[in-house]
Structure 1
Amino acid sequence: MDPLKALADAERKPYWLDSPARPEPQPRLVGNTTADLVVVGGGFSGLWTALMAKERDPEQDVVLLEGRRIGWAATGRNGGFCMATLTHGLPNGLERWPDEIDQLERMGVQNLDEIEQTLLRYGVDCSFERTGELVVATEPWQLEALNEHLDLIGELGLDYQPLDQDQVRAEVNSPTYLGGLWERSGCAMLDPARLAWGLREACLRLGVRVYERSPVRALDDDGVTISLRTPHGTVIGRRVALGTGVFQPLLRRLRHLVVPVYDYALMTEPLSDAQLDSVGWRNRQGIGDSANQFHYYRLTDDNRVLWGGYDAVYYNGGLVKPEYDQRDETFVKLAGHFYDTFPQLSGVRFTHRWGGVIDTCSRFSAFYGQAHGGRLAYAAGYTGMGVGATRFGANVMLDFLSGERTERTELQMVRETPMPFPPEPVRSGVIQFTRWSIAQADQHQGRRNLWLRTLDRMGLGFDS
């Protein structure tokens, strides 16, 4: 089908948030109040922090402030891949923290297990399916990269299954696949919006006071407490946890460590039984290809295909604007790639198209820190793999705020800070040239030019 025709009736809104299950917002903060812990941000980072704070100490008074609606930003716009990795994938973790990789992988699997247990404990229905992820090669050079770490994977005891061309096409039938690697237990598929709404409900049941449509405009520290001012009220807290991603950084240092990158996705209409049979996909894995500019895709519980990725767009100046959520050039490109991958689905149309902003840092995985004498903690920079890792980050923030030394806080990954980005306009030039270089690498059998090799040597190995 012509991509323009296939997109003609697609709603310009995130599929996950376009649901009758979306709850009514909690009230705005009006007037002044106090709290033991104030959590800023109603995405996964803030929700996990508030929930686990009450689990650690049911008696403490916890307030969560969200500027708009719970889950409206990256939390409600992602692909719903809940991954065990804490390091944005094994290769990135190996490159940066080789001495800790076995520990980081173990802690990541434990974190994913605990997410599953939490959903069962609170009865959160978010279509959680522990299907694993299928990483596929569509070019010969990608096969080499997939096989590079197989020996180490075996040593770490990770549940990966290499697949040749026939085996991978038996799993999911695409003429583009040359081979693959099935990470069988380290990834779950879920509905991210329903996860956020379920976590909100769990927080409320435990006594967290949740205020939506209450953006924090200023932070003031009197040396003992921290005041967070919203348009209609103020919360004075003993401790503060920031989980705001790229939005309104209340700490100046975060402006230099995080940049906004836009990611885009499409959702198809539900596949018929015959259409699904033509693809196979009986094990319902999440899928990602191995290019630098990669696609990610998965089935929903009603057998739609979410198809996203490829273009990761930085808008010069690093601005975050609502109009950036829509980019027709990318939508048309994605639709064409979908039909190239699954020509047997040429009659399928798209029902939704949307974009969202990701908080990216130079090390491609989250970083953590403290400020205001240890009374404020933050986690940011998840770079698109935060559905699961934000829970780990929430635990790090709570460890910091309690003053505890834990296995998490002793990690080199947690103690290190990523290299800051240069100021504008140099930042825009560097990022745009890097994006161009990445595209060129995909067109030249993965060969990275001098600029990318220099970034690699500096520990800034951009790959998407």
Structure 2
Amino acid sequence: MKLAALADAEPRVFWLDDKSAPEPAPALLGRAEADLAVVGGGYTGLWTALRAKERYPSLDVVLLESDTCGSAASGRNGGFCDASLTHGFANGQARWPAEMDDLERLGLENLDAIGATVTRLGIDCDWQRTGELTVATAPHHLDELAAEAEERSGVRLLDQDAARAEVNSPTYLGALHDPGRTALVEPARLAWGLRQACLDLGVRIHENSQVNRMHTRSLATATGSVRAEHIALATNAFPSLLRRLRKYTVPVYDLVLVTEPLSAAQLSSIGWRHRQGIGDASNLFHYYRLTRDNRILWGGYLPLYHYASRIDPAFEQRDSIHKLLARHFFTTFPQLEGLHFTHRWGGVIDTSTRFCAFFGTAHAGRVGYALGYTGLGVAATRFGADVMLDLLYGEDTERTRLRMVRERPHRFPPEPFRAAGIHLTRWSMSQADAHAGHRNLWLRTLDRMGLGFDF
């Protein structure tokens, strides 16, 4: 039985289940002062602290993390480091068509800079510029991918035979191959490498130090406080210390599986010689990739929102969804029947109505924020960190002149309308997948209003 493959899957995050994890930094005790205080030790916070020291070496920087650095989304995602700053070309083209050439270029420059940082600092995170395949698993996907290929440069449309020559699945009807805009990375190790780089540059990191109060120039935890000239908020999916920002994002849980390592024969049966990241072209899509030791990470498809934007570690496990993911895995790769999963987990994503990050300041420019990455933030967080620093330190840059940076998304409605709208949108997207991509009245209305919900 296929579901026997899940029998021994541990409810742990594969990337965090790693002996190289650093020992936690000491919690904040007593009073401290800094030029810049960063709240949050995920990618956004770590890049902000690192870039602050690289751009303004004399700054005294402190970073406060409620758990350990990289323990949330930054250490448990799929490890797709995509150049897009706009959650894909189509989303950016629909919202900022006049800026797309610049946004695409800036995204590639940002991805190049991440790779250069990984190399320069010697971060052991299996960074590979593999590119990505977007696979068609339904006939209407072929038309959608063909239309995207006509608008974008540097991509190639593959027919069914060519797609299956890359990765052998009976579900593939074709694919869009983007060879240069995606790298794969071990996400927790990237976070830990950035953490060590911050420490090496003199950033003071305090873990297990949840900030529970913020004033214009001060932050307070249960055991200490920091007074700072500037504050950068990098809490993303977790409730913002600026309460008004809580209306602009919702937390959505994404669930993931990882298999045991494939044997040489099993790997040969699916090909995958170029080790690209893969996502299918459905609205409710799967994403998957190979790990360093030839496991397959398999996630996505059915995101979960909990009423009133609740966040709870208990939501990271859902037997019914993990079983559904396992069934879909063996539909995609029936030749791997008998393979077992070793890890199953989930994580929370900060989703905005424009599907990508937004930025700003508060308290007379002393507090900056970047959030709303909607599941495509592994690379974009570095860009977000630079935007925050531009805004906090009054830098007039190409970044700050972008409409994409200057504009905010629409707010989510209050409950119960929020939950009802999210669930209706997810149902409608599922119906579109089942009916040749036809978008019903609800989705078309969201499109016209510039609203939406992306999974």
1:356 pairs with 2:347: yes
User: How far apart, in 2, do the equivalents of 1:294 and 1:273 lie?
Assistant: 28
User: How far apart, in 1, do the equivalents of 2:238 and 2:447 lie?
Assistant: 28
1:100 corresponds to which residue?
Answer: 99
Checking the alignment, whether the CA contact within 8 Å between 2:2 and 2:338 is kept in structure 1 is no
Once the two structures are superposed, the pairs formed by residues 47-126 of structure 1 within 5 Å of their partners are 47-126=46-125
1:242 pairs with 2:233: yes
Pairwise CA distance, 1:461: 3.8
What residue ranges of structure 1 are gaps of 5+ in the alignment? none
Checking the alignment, whether the CA contact within 8 Å between 2:158 and 2:174 is kept in structure 1 is yes
User: How far apart, in 2, do the equivalents of 1:458 and 1:412 lie?
Assistant: 18
User: How far apart, in 2, do the equivalents of 1:162 and 1:207 lie?
Assistant: 48
1:46 corresponds to which residue?
Answer: 45
1:441 corresponds to which residue?
Answer: 432
Q: After superposition, what is the alpha-carbon deviation per residue over 1:8-54, rounded to whole angstroms, capped at 9, x for unaligned?
A: 11010110001101110000000001000000000000000000100
1:274 corresponds to which residue?
Answer: 265
Once the two structures are superposed, the pairs formed by residues 7-22 of structure 1 within 5 Å of their partners are 7-22=6-21
Checking the alignment, whether the CA contact within 8 Å between 1:134 and 1:287 is kept in structure 2 is yes
Where 2:307 maps in the other structure, the secondary structure is coil
Checking the alignment, whether the CA contact within 8 Å between 2:251 and 2:309 is kept in structure 1 is yes
TM-score (norm 2): 0.99
User: How far apart, in 1, do the equivalents of 2:411 and 2:177 lie?
Assistant: 35
1:183 corresponds to which residue?
Answer: 178
Question: Percent sequence identity over matched residues?
Answer: 61
Give 1:427's match in structure 2, choosing from 418, 425, 442.
418
User: How far apart, in 1, do the equivalents of 2:453 and 2:179 lie?
Assistant: 26
Where 2:433 maps in the other structure, the secondary structure is helix
> What residue identity is the alignment partner of 1:211?
H
User: How far apart, in 2, do the equivalents of 1:417 and 1:434 lie?
Assistant: 21
Checking the alignment, whether the CA contact within 8 Å between 2:350 and 2:372 is kept in structure 1 is yes
User: How far apart, in 2, do the equivalents of 1:149 and 1:334 lie?
Assistant: 28
Pairwise CA distance, 1:150: 2.1
> What residue identity is the alignment partner of 1:351?
T
1:2 pairs with 2:19: no
Checking the alignment, whether the CA contact within 8 Å between 1:438 and 1:463 is kept in structure 2 is no
Where 1:148 maps in the other structure, the secondary structure is helix
Pairwise CA distance, 1:144: 0.8
Give 1:213's match in structure 2, choosing from 190, 208, 212.
208
1:166 corresponds to which residue?
Answer: 161
Runs of 4 or more, structure 1, over 6 Å off, are: none
1:193 pairs with 2:185: no
Where 2:308 maps in the other structure, the secondary structure is coil
1:25 corresponds to which residue?
Answer: 24
What residue ranges of structure 2 are gaps of 5+ in the alignment? none
User: How far apart, in 1, do the equivalents of 2:149 and 2:322 lie?
Assistant: 35
RMSD: 0.8
Q: After superposition, what is the alpha-carbon deviation per residue over 1:133-164, rounded to whole angstroms, capped at 9, x for unaligned?
A: 1000000001111111222213xxxx212111
1:150 corresponds to which residue?
Answer: 149
1:265 corresponds to which residue?
Answer: 256
Pairwise CA distance, 1:326: 0.5
1:395 pairs with 2:386: yes
2:199 corresponds to which residue?
Answer: 204
Pairwise CA distance, 1:248: 3.0
Q: After superposition, what is the alpha-carbon deviation per residue over 1:171-226, rounded to whole angstroms, capped at 9, x for unaligned?
A: 000000000011100000010000000000000000000000000000012xxxx1
Pairwise CA distance, 1:463: 4.3
The alignment covers a number of residue pairs equal to 455
> What residue identity is the alignment partner of 2:211?
V
2:337 corresponds to which residue?
Answer: 346
1:413 pairs with 2:432: no
Checking the alignment, whether the CA contact within 8 Å between 2:63 and 2:206 is kept in structure 1 is yes
